[in-house]
Structure 1
């Protein structure tokens, strides 16, 4: 495997581990023990000093190799150097380092000649601590790629730690609070509360897969971190983006959305960045772009995986610098936008194939959230079907309802188009219903009139991967 592919796959694996909806201690343990699968390291650790009211975090990899030290203490001088300056530290051989001369005789005595690499863990340009690892020392070896990868991993870890600390209550982790609340309620009461909560946010369901995605979304909403919503078409990415906005500190500011593939590249640039009068043929007046309209609020870039590599470079600059120029303009404009991106595309494969910029991938995939397809949301289809039918009744002055056998039939369907296809199925069936009671015989698939069923085999193949 090429190194570029290895780094891309490794970063995707790390992001999934760091933003799993579980306790911080377990998250960091899993994170540290994922690193040796990617980097040629023998031992590593994470050190985060405790700020006021916060607990110090110290974690190390579980390395059972014969050359691993049982207890590797990083010199305080080394940590102070990294924390104070916020810069990385690379020592090709700790045996010849003044920083390690005292530790070599004690805690690092079991290690053969080793290189030490450490980077600061940063959030919003603030150094929270450091992430480090040691590896076999190689004369003349260039450690730059490994340092770059470790820096990106450290930044993701910093975001995860900040999120957990933000949502801590009285020193108790957010995930622990949620677990205590669930244990204190009866199953029926908990299910009812969840349904009410989800309906209020426009998302209906109570399956474990959906609840995990929802918990992560609300967990990150209170921060300014960029979110990448992933999932098949029709899984509700736009609804989740709106939910994140509504639970964020920008909730009173604009929520702007752009469907990237709906516009050709020339118009997409004008749509996002705006243009000046006379910038091109037909530009009869100045236009404010979506980035400016979303200033102080949230911008959703839907299906970002479909934009061209040329436009990706322009978009990357705006995301990195927080500033833009309107098409045909010369003035640099500052914007402060919380970015949410959505895609149903396999971006890792697109990066490997040169179709999507690697640097842009890392910029937008800070907090990835994968939305489950409907076929993996056990028990949610009847809830959704009833809600869609109720909406249809309210819009059309009807009083239709499902019998249980009809709901059971829907639950057995594949729905490769996910929630969007289910809603269409309910509306079609309700529109053609001859009585107020909808039975399983009223569905189009019972008379071979459901043309989308031809996609079910494709969904089955996908599910078996």
Structure 2
């Protein structure tokens, strides 16, 4: 084997002298170092401590000029320098290899150590870092050993210096191999944690992006004047500010969706959005949940707890049903709005917070102030920019847009193929007063999808509360011609809906000529333009 060839550990080289350390650097003295390294690995909480000690030993005790620890990213196949000495930061950043590339890549690919007695003469030496520029002709040796665990190669330990004794070169390679074996479990844990952390960060970014898209104002269903003027325009304007918003409206109108749209449309979209239902938490727990507590502040406080305001730092907190807060919590909330600080239960001082507050209620807070059940000063602090979400009964054709959206989403959820709502069912939906608003409509459509036996939701699939008696059924009998005309009307309307107002396609679906269908459209007073595409968002949120 020539001087410039790589050779494995365990091979006796010509000229080796095993009776003594030729340079006086006997490695027997390193046994206490191995013990210290093992102790460092067993008590370390991360990889920085053990690797720092490894590199220190290589530089101080093995008298190496340069040393590196590389790690393999199994997802990309990229090998990069994780830590080093003797390299600048720029040189370290350039030390990136692929499997089988250069000496480092070959060690990772094969899982076997490589010793190169004359580094600059080896054809596999790439000098990827650029640290050896101008060093050609030097007789520097290079040792590279794999970090292996359970047959898997995790990275390498590499070091270089000039050796006069081949025996010492071989001993140092064996010493590095022993160190690599010791630190392998810690390296494995580090790689697992890094991969999981990266995956979680990527997932978190994807979820935040999805939420931002879902709760964008354009994704809230509805094109009624009440929504366009009173909600969408305000959301766009308010989202760009940090003003406190009070969302008013009946239960079930979608106040939480509006709050979400404001947060995800603001410059705080990447920060936390914390929701708190003031009516769902008992009075004795609300204070702790909102403002947190210190360990031992009360019976059962076994550890320090950060409240929702601290958790929302930098982002937004949404206080739903704010009118249900007790007088004690109202006083503390007022302090947050005034001073932008909170104090944990049992705490010793205020904690500064940066939180945007969006509150919502279905109650008349002004009336509560008059009755003395809600603090007047808190009301004016919350009522900086009030926004009223209209009830569903005032949103006209939005009922149909929402119903179509719920039909599509519930059909997917239950694995059904319901495609549309029949005209009589639509008429029933439009004539109902919807005391439960959007939430009630969603429940009604979910029930109808479950009960539907074909691809259509019929009037009989709707609950009894929508089955209001008609003038015909209550007052007079209906003749055959009128019944047939009603059925014809429904069939024509359904065909126009299915064809998106295309008269030719509707006529073909009904088995009629376009001319005959045109006559019947006139007879029933139907305008096919009414069935052209409206503003719909099949994947949008309901609000």
Give the TM-score normalised by structure 2: 0.45
Query: For the residues of structure 2 that align with 1:418 and 1:366, how far apart are their CA atoms?
Result: 26
Tell me what 2:316 maps to. Answer: 298
Query: For the residues of structure 1 that align with 2:232 and 2:251, how far apart are their CA atoms?
Result: 18
Q: Does 1:241 align with 2:259?
A: yes
Tell me what 1:319 maps to. Answer: 337
Q: Is the 8 A contact 1:291 1:335 kept in 2?
A: yes
Q: Is the 8 A contact 1:202 1:239 kept in 2?
A: no
Tell me what 1:362 maps to. Answer: 380
Deviations 1:367-395 (A, max 9, x none): 00000000000110010001011111111
Tell me what 2:434 maps to. Answer: 415
Give the TM-score normalised by structure 1: 0.53
Counterparts of residues 421-436 of structure 1 (less than 5 Å) = 421-436=440-455
Query: For the residues of structure 2 that align with 1:314 and 1:404, how far apart are their CA atoms?
Result: 53
Instruction: Using the TM superposition, give the Cα deviation of residue 310 of structure 1 relative to its aligned residue in structure 2, in angstroms.
Output: 2.4
Deviations 1:185-235 (A, max 9, x none): xxxxxxxxxxx9988754211000011111112111100100000000001
Query: For the residues of structure 2 that align with 1:444 and 1:352, how far apart are their CA atoms?
Result: 40
Tell me what 1:206 maps to. Answer: 223
1:340 to 1:200, Cα distance in 2 relative to 1, 3 A: closer
Tell me what 1:274 maps to. Answer: 292
Tell me what 2:233 maps to. Answer: 215
Query: For the residues of structure 2 that align with 1:408 and 1:448, how far apart are their CA atoms?
Result: 11
CA RMSD of aligned residues (A): 2.1
3-state secondary structure, aligned to 1:206: coil
In our comparison, the structure showing a higher alpha carbon Rg is 2
Query: For the residues of structure 2 that align with 1:237 and 1:446, how far apart are their CA atoms?
Result: 25
Which segments of 5 or more consecutive residues in structure 2 lack a partner in the other structure?
1-212, 469-543
Deviations 1:163-186 (A, max 9, x none): xxxxxxxxxxxxxxxxxxxxxxxx
Tell me what 1:107 maps to. Answer: none
3-state secondary structure, aligned to 1:262: coil
Tell me what 1:381 maps to. Answer: 399
Q: Is the 8 A contact 1:198 1:204 kept in 2?
A: no
Query: For the residues of structure 2 that align with 1:258 and 1:354, how far apart are their CA atoms?
Result: 24
Tell me what 2:274 maps to. Answer: 256
What is the number of equivalent residue pairs in this alignment?
Answer: 255
3-state secondary structure, aligned to 2:318: strand
Counterparts of residues 450-461 of structure 1 (less than 5 Å) = none
Which segments of 5 or more consecutive residues in structure 1 lack a partner in the other structure?
1-195, 450-465
3-state secondary structure, aligned to 1:328: coil
Of 261, 277, 284, the residue aligned with 2:302 is 284
Instruction: Using the TM superposition, give the Cα deviation of residue 331 of structure 1 relative to its aligned residue in structure 2, in angstroms.
Output: 3.1
3-state secondary structure, aligned to 1:414: coil
Q: Does 1:231 align with 2:249?
A: yes
Query: For the residues of structure 2 that align with 1:200 and 1:317, how far apart are their CA atoms?
Result: 31
Q: Is the 8 A contact 1:226 1:338 kept in 2?
A: yes
Query: For the residues of structure 1 that align with 2:277 and 2:214, how far apart are their CA atoms?
Result: 28
Query: For the residues of structure 2 that align with 1:295 and 1:337, how far apart are their CA atoms?
Result: 5
3-state secondary structure, aligned to 1:261: coil
Q: Does 1:444 align with 2:463?
A: yes
Q: Is the 8 A contact 2:245 2:384 kept in 1?
A: yes
Counterparts of residues 11-410 of structure 1 (less than 5 Å) = 202-212=219-229, 213-401=231-419, 402-410=421-429
Query: For the residues of structure 2 that align with 1:443 and 1:334, how far apart are their CA atoms?
Result: 53
Deviations 1:327-370 (A, max 9, x none): 11113210010100000000111011111111000100000000
Query: For the residues of structure 1 that align with 2:380 and 2:217, how far apart are their CA atoms?
Result: 33
Deviations 1:406-447 (A, max 9, x none): 222211111100000000000011112222211112211279
